[in-house]
Amino acid sequence: METSEQFNKEQIEVVNQSVEMAEELVCNFYKLSVNQLLRHRYDIKTMVDLSPDEIIYGAFAQVIRYEGRKKDTTLGSASYDFYKICIQDHSIIAAIRKTSGLNLFAFTLYIIIHELVHIIRFSRFLQNFEASPGEKLAEEARVHEKTLEILSKHSVAGIREVLDFCNKSTLPIDNVQLVKKCH
C-alpha cells in the first residue's frame, strides 16, 4: 500500500502560487476574464481536502465532474455541474523526489493548466466524458499540446524539466471521471 503523503505548509503555498499563475495564463490564452473562467465552476483541491474516493494512485491529478440536481425541484434548470481538480500530493512528491531538476512550482503549473484545459474543452463540448479509451488518449494528446502552447508564450523556470519528465513518465498525468451525485 502506497502512503498518501500530503504537501506541507510551504508546499501548499507554492501550489497556491501555481494555481494563480495557471488561471492567469489560461485566461490570457482563451481571452477570458477571471469571472468568465470561474463560471466553469471548478475547485482545485489538494489531498487535505479530498475524500478517500477522490484519492488515486498512478496519476498526478484527477478531474471529477460532479453532476447533481437540487432536492426540492424537478426542473432541469436546477441541475448543476461542477468540476473538482483533485491534486494527488503523494504522487507529485514522489516524482519530485525521484527526478532531479523537477520542481514543485513548474510541475504543478503544468498539471493545473492541463486540467483547466480539460474543463474548458468539456464545457465547450469539445471533449466527451463518455469517450472511448482511444478517443480519451487522443484527447489527452490534444490537451497536452494546448498546455504546451499556453506555456510556450512564457518563460517559467523548470518547465523544460517538466516536459522532459512528462515525455519519459510512464504514469498518466491524470484520470478524468464523471460522478453522478444527487442531492
Q: Considering only CA atoms, which of 109, 88, 93, 89 is closest in space to residue 163?
A: 109
Under a CB-based contact definition with an 8 Å cutoff, are residues 122 and 131 in contact? no
Under a CB-based contact definition with an 8 Å cutoff, are residues 30 and 143 in contact? no
Distance (Å) of CA 135 to CA 129, 140, 147: 10, 8, 18
> Which lies closer to Zn ion via its Cβ, residue 69 or residue 144?
144
> Which lies closer to Zn ion via its Cβ, residue 81 or residue 140?
140
Query: Of the listed pieces 66-74, 84-92, 125-133, 143-151, which binds Zn ion according to CB under 5 A?
Result: 143-151
Report the distance separating Cα 43 and Cα 45, nearest Å: 6
Query: Of the listed pieces 95-103, 130-138, 153-161, 167-175, which binds Zn ion according to CB under 5 A?
Result: 167-175
Report the distance separating Cα 115 and Cα 137, nearest Å: 15
Q: Which of 174, 178, 181, 183 binds Zn ion (CB under 5 A)?
A: 174
Q: Considering only CA atoms, which of 86, 82, 107 is closest in space to residue 169?
A: 107
Give yes or no for residue 139 binding Zn ion (CB under 5 A).
no
**What is the smallest separation between the CB atom of 144 and Zn ion, expressed in angstroms?**
7
Query: Of the listed pieces 80-88, 120-128, 148-156, 171-179, which binds Zn ion according to CB under 5 A?
Result: 171-179
Tell the residue number behind the cell numbers 498525468, with chain if given: 173
**What is the smallest separation between the CB atom of 129 and Zn ion, expressed in angstroms?**
13
**What is the smallest separation between the CB atom of 106 and Zn ion, expressed in angstroms?**
17
Under a CB-based contact definition with an 8 Å cutoff, are residues 65 and 54 in contact? no
Binding mask 26-65 toward Zn ion (x if CB under 5 A, else -) reads ----------------------------------------
**What is the smallest separation between the CB atom of 34 and Zn ion, expressed in angstroms?**
23
DSSP 8-state class, residue 101: T
DSSP 8-state class, residue 77: G
> Which lies closer to Zn ion via its Cβ, residue 35 or residue 167?
167
* Contacts with Zn ion, residue ranges (CB under 5 A): 140, 143, 173-174
